[in-house]
Amino acid sequence: MGKLCSKGFDKGTSHRKAPPPVWCPLRCTLDELYNGVEKTIKFPGGRMKLLPDPGVIAPNADPETLVVEIPAGAKNGLKTVYPRRVILDDRKVPRDVIVDVIEEPHAEFHRQGNDLWAIRKIPLMEYVTNEALTIETLDKRLLTVPKIEPGCVIEIPNEGMPCWHGIGETGSIFVSFEVIYPKNLSLTREEKDELKKLLAKEENNV
């Protein structure tokens, strides 16, 4: 099993100089970090041989595959140390494996700590004809939020990233809306007059 390290890792107490570790960057989507995920790293032999984990009994495990458990809420740069798991170039001294989480960019959300920020682009028709708007969370739920003016920000508490190992608080989602206006809109004179009447009526209700 690996040892999670958010701030470096234990160098040990032995006076013998340990061989340098093997670093393995592991790319994870924001969805995977939100939900937690099990990922694998393949060591196909050759120069680098993976040693079995002495603390785990797994008779059916692939001897060339390192299984990595990424907890829900893990952050970019989280390191997991697997002590003495690799032999390099047939040398007898095992090396540590350090798995380094790399968070991939998300199409909609930008992460700041445990908070998630988003700018949702919506068509003019959807914005005008709906009293409330929706946003999809990383676990595929649809949240309904009141319609706000474009450019303003609304906070949705406790819907951001979960706490990693209970450290800190669950984050929030902060969302703003950007209205997409139709391009090359062609209206007849009658349609323009009707639109002017509707807009004038709306302005009088403000």
List, for residues 64-101, the tens digit of each pLDDT value: 889 999 999 999 999 999 998 888 876 778 989 999 99
pLDDT: which is higher, 164 or 46 = 164
Which domains does the chain carry?
Answer: 3-8+17-103 (2.60.260.20), 109-183 (2.60.260.20)
Task: Determine the average pLDDT of the residues in 95-123.
Answer: 94
* Cα–Cα distance, 78 to 196 (Å, whole number): 56
Count CA within 13 A, CB hemisphere, residue 84.
9
Mean pLDDT for the chain overall: 84
Task: Determine the average pLDDT of the residues in 173-188.
Answer: 85
Does the pTM surpass 0.85? The reply is no
DSSP states along 19-51: PPPEEEEEEE-HHHHHH-EEEEEE--BTTEEEP
pLDDT: which is higher, 160 or 47 = 160
Give the pLDDT confidence of 141-160 residue by residue, as tens digits: 999 998 888 889 999 999 99
Residue holding tokens 């995977």?
32
How high is the pLDDT of residue 13? 47
How high is the pLDDT of residue 59? 57
How high is the pLDDT of residue 39? 95
How high is the pLDDT of residue 81? 94
* Cα–Cα distance, 15 to 50 (Å, whole number): 25
The H-assigned helical ranges of 52-173 are 124-129
* Cα–Cα distance, 25 to 40 (Å, whole number): 12
